[in-house]
Amino acid sequence: MLYLKLVKNSGGTMRFIHTGDIHLGATPESKRPWAANRGDEIWNTLERLIKKIKIDPVDLLIIAGDMFHRQPLLRELKEVDYLFSTIPDTKVVLCAGNHDAIKKGSFYDGFKWSENVIFLGDKNIESVEIPELNTCVYGLSYHQTEIKDAMYDHVIVDRPDMINILVAHGGDEKHIPINRKKLAMSGFDYVAMGHIHKPEIDEKMKMAYSGSLEPIDMNDIGPRGYIYGEISKRGLELEFVPFAKRIYRELDFTVTPTATNLEIRHRLIDMIKEQGQDDMYKITFSGYRDPDFDIDVSDIEGVGNVVSVIDNTVPDYDFEELYAENKDNILGMYIKKFLDRESLTPLQRKTLYYGTKALMDAMEDRA
């Protein structure tokens, strides 16, 4: 679990949840039958978060951009605003990111939010004071999909006596580059960042990426959720809270020369059952297999929510026999270089296997 703990103040502490990159409207893995409802699951996870806040209220909910995967429909804005209206004692602060940038004709323009919602919709950094929380929030919204200017580099807090929070969506060269050292000198008590889907807490700089609330594609490996925080002028405490319905996992499987497809299937089913049957898996096979055996990839895809299968196994060759059969060609010459050595390091042995496989594949293609 990611966490940061500084000096915690016993009085005047504000409780908040920081999330972002929710990507409502996205439909990850939609072509796979088991993922037909992934789009609905993303909406349901946002609803679960709001229900959690109703049960255990916080003072502030921060959504650091990309609430939507693309331009929101008017009815979608109304649905989200309704959810926010059900937590009237929680101030909600949000901005538009690069995916849901406020372009011409956007329904963000002129939308009337509930009284507890603060939408940082300007293309330049603006600040809004929340007197009852002794807090001032800063931020901007994207009005185009790419912003290469370092918009956050020169912002300075106006009210150092208040709790100052910057809502910052970006962090790469095409989406508002972020200089963490400069931000740390700007006087913010916390920088709530979005755009990067992997959660990260920067203890030294008092800033964090919440990561996406749900994983959006197969590169979003590992836990996804939100940041829970408590903040005052004397200190900050942050904790990453896993909250996603399902996550992507990498599963490494070592194959032996005696392996069969049924054995592999049964072992994978047990491994997935142990790690989480709801989760989504990228399976990578390694090791040595019988030269006459091939892994049935289509069968493997049916053992669970499998999004990719990579076969890095190599045939467990009898190199003495292969050399005897190929003395007069490039394959034989390649094998002989290794057979002439007294012993092979693990790296040399791997090189021998992979090189032999590549040469045999090339010879088959020419045949």
Name the pLDDT band for 9 (thresholds 50, 70, 90).
very low
Query: Are 31 and 175 contained in the same domain?
Result: yes
Averaged pLDDT for residues 228-239: 96
Q: What is the mean pLDDT of the chain?
A: 93
H or E stretch covering 197: none
Judgement on whether residues 200 and 279 belong to the same structural domain of the protein: no
Q: Do both 52 and 166 map to the same domain?
A: yes
Band the pLDDT of 11: cuts 50, 70, 90.
very low
Cβ proximity of 47 and 38 under 8 Å: no
Both 27 and 139 in a single domain? Answer: yes
Provide the domain count of the chain: 2
Beta bridge partners of 24: 68
| Packing angle, helices 330-339 and 346-366, rounded to 10 | 170
Residue 335 — pLDDT band, cuts 50, 70, 90? very high
Q: Facing residues of 33 across strands?
A: none
The amino acid at 215: P
One domain for residues 167 and 78: yes
Q: What confidence tier does 365 reach under pLDDT thresholds 50, 70, 90? A: confident
In the chain, what's the furthest Cα-to-Cα distance? 86
Mean pLDDT, to the nearest integer, of 129-157? 96
Same domain as 263, residue 318: yes
Can you tell me which residue has the tokens 């959006």? Answer: 216
Q: Residue 219: how many CB atoms within 10 A of its CB?
A: 10
Task: Judge if 252 and 226 occupy the same domain.
Answer: no
267 and 222 share one domain: no
Mean pLDDT of 255-283: 96
Question: What is the domain extent for residue 180?
Answer: 3-242
* Per-residue pLDDT, 7: 33
- For position 234, which CATH number holds? 3.60.21.10
- Same domain? For 169 and 234 the reply is yes
Question: How far are the Cα atoms of 232, 236, 320 from residue 10, in angstroms, in the given order?
Answer: 9, 12, 74
How many residues does the structure list for the chain? Answer: 367
User: Last residue of some domain: 227, 242, 257?
Assistant: 242
357 in the same domain as 221: no
Instruction: Among 197, 221, 242, identify where a domain stops.
Output: 242
For residue 367, name the pLDDT band (cuts at 50, 70, 90).
low
- End position of a domain, from candidates 213, 242, 271: 242
Q: ∠ CA(24), CA(26), CA(30), 5° rounding?
A: 140
Q: What is the pLDDT of residues 20-76, one digit of tens each?
A: 999 999 999 988 999 999 999 999 999 999 999 999 999 999 999 999 999 999 999
Same domain, 102 and 195: yes
* pLDDT for residue 141: 98
Q: What is the pLDDT of residue 170?
A: 98
177 and 260 part of one domain: no
Cα atoms found within 13 Å of the Cα of residue 330, Cβ hemisphere only: 9
